Structure 1
Amino acid sequence: MLHYTTLYYTILHNATLHYTTLHYTTLHYTTQLYTMLHYTTLYYTTLHYATLHYTTLHYTILHYTILHNSTLRYTTLYYTTLHYTTQLYTTLHYTILHNSTLCYTTLHYTTQLYTTLHYTTQLYTTLHYTILHNSTLRYTTLYYTTLHYATQLYTTLHYTILHNSTLATLHYTTLHNSTLHYTTLHYTTQLYTMLHYTILHNSTLHYTTTQLTLHYTNNYTTLYTMLHYTTLYYTTLHYATLHYTTLHYTTLHYTILHNSTLRYTTLYYTTLHYTTQLYTTLHYTILHNSTLCYTTLHYTTQLYTTLHYTTLYYTTLHYATLHYTTQLYTTLHNFTQYYTTLH
């Protein structure tokens, strides 16, 4: 069997930007935001994070690509970096490359080993997490971690449920900040897709719920400007890196690999750095306050695949659905050419 490795947390210093491998950094936050990303991994030797560079005032799109072979074995997590032009915002970009030999290689940092998302003021990022499950349809309800927010901070976690039969619309549920109500992602038969969309914050930090109608297409090789999802039942899809041109938004690629025994791994993703007055609900979201208080996100069940999206100003968020075939895991892949707004 493949051994599980535990990823440890290290404190990430903004100034020094030193990162250690196999450790996740907790970042110090500037104003009224607190939280800490916790990630667990099932079959990871080393997780390395690369930095995505963004153009000015751009928002990131989180892309998740999970590659697996027909044997439901997962191999190496390769992270690629997307480079963008000026006044960059960094985001974690993860792609999984797997081979049939189940060989795991260490993930290498590309530049300065960033495990954090850097955002300018009033910017919010979103993280997508995808779950692979086998054909036994043993799915655990996705519980969303409690997000502790400092005063006057409201972060709504929106979780969307894609109905496999209809794949009609994405429903958003609002997490009340004070009550911290969590919604579970329920999956119906055979195809399960969890798309988490967060509610856009306005300047007053009010949250409005939105609904997105998913438009699906049979072509899974084209780029989607809208939230398009490929058709059901995909086999293995291999994604290397998402390449973006300038003025494009990058994506965070988070993948959770589990084997056919439904042993799920949660990738603990490193923390995001924010400058001032930033609000971010990442699945394993990080809210930091000026007091540098960190609260851990707790998970109810062993399997956590929640996506947390928080965006104040997003032009576009592309989400793709994980399509599963019997005994084959499908990939949640996002195609982005241009960016659509979640409104």
Structure 2
Amino acid sequence: MAEPQRIPTVNLGSQGLVVSKLGLGCMGLTGTYNDPLPEDQGISIIKHAFNQGITFFDTADVYGANANELLLAKALKQLPREKIQIATKFGVLKLDFANLHVKGTPDYVRSCCEASLKRLDVDYIDLYYQHRVDTSVPIEQTMGELKKLVEEKKVKYIGLSEASSDTIRRAHGVHPITAVQIEWSLWTRDIEDEIVPLCRNLGIGIVSYSPLGRGFFGGKGVVETLPSVSSLSAHPRYQAENIEKNKRIYKRIESLAKKYECTTPQLALAWVLQQGNDVVPIPGTTKIKNLDENIGALSVKFTEKELREISEAIPVDDIAGIQHYNEGHGKLSWKFANTPPKDSSVYELN
């Protein structure tokens, strides 16, 4: 087997986890934004990513109703486990973007971890995230069980996904958090004022999901129409009245990409890559040519002045449609597996 090419590695957080500077988000390989790929094609993309130097692979128990972890497991059997960092997640009972059903009780944490270990067919998980925080369960209880899993060597490092600053602080007080996975792209910037400085103060790495704006900067909804099965049709920024306005944003970035002699998705991804050595984006794709294009973004370099120019090309107020699927910026309606507080019908997205 050919050794992977040289993609830079970085320390993700301050706890010792080293990953490739660019990861691969595997969710789309088993559907969500598109039809699921045939198994052999999904495995080929994972293997190609590794052969190009990507060693950091992101999945979750809920993706494809367990199918995503099973697919990754089959690909990993053909790759050297010791050179790969597996990130998976627990906490979302059902992938429903209108109402996320979440659970964070200690017994559920343990049962999910054991199930993921079995599906992935590995002895340990490199990075184990709480996918979404169940605010009806004190984060200290959830983290306490995760800490036990680390002590038992079933998990190496702990992460949080879409966590609020208060949750991050409290969780970090129980056991060091290695990484926070959160949406960050040219059109999703709300973490920059509070979450990013907090993570850097605590030595926590930042994993950027949807760094291409859920495919927007790759041309979805602009250059190409959305697949009929895509969940993006429910996203406010892809609604008919908003996508027409947002096309103007795409045109600005497209123009800058021509100026800097790269593709539009490369410009958007390079911007995220250069937000700091502690930032690791995990774009997903179902096409090898797009994967190679994403890897090419590592060679696109900007000066500080150029980064500011790109940032200023997309004023936050110019973006049509709220960031998240649900009404109310930063809000989601949650459904809990256990009884929530009486006054908690709507929770902060954390």
TM range (shorter): under 0.3
Give 1 or 2 for the bigger CA radius of gyration. 2
Which one has more relative contact order, counting CA pairs under 8 Å at least 6 apart?
Answer: 1
Q: TM-score, normalised by structure 2?
A: 0.27
Query: Which structure carries more helix by proportion?
Result: 2
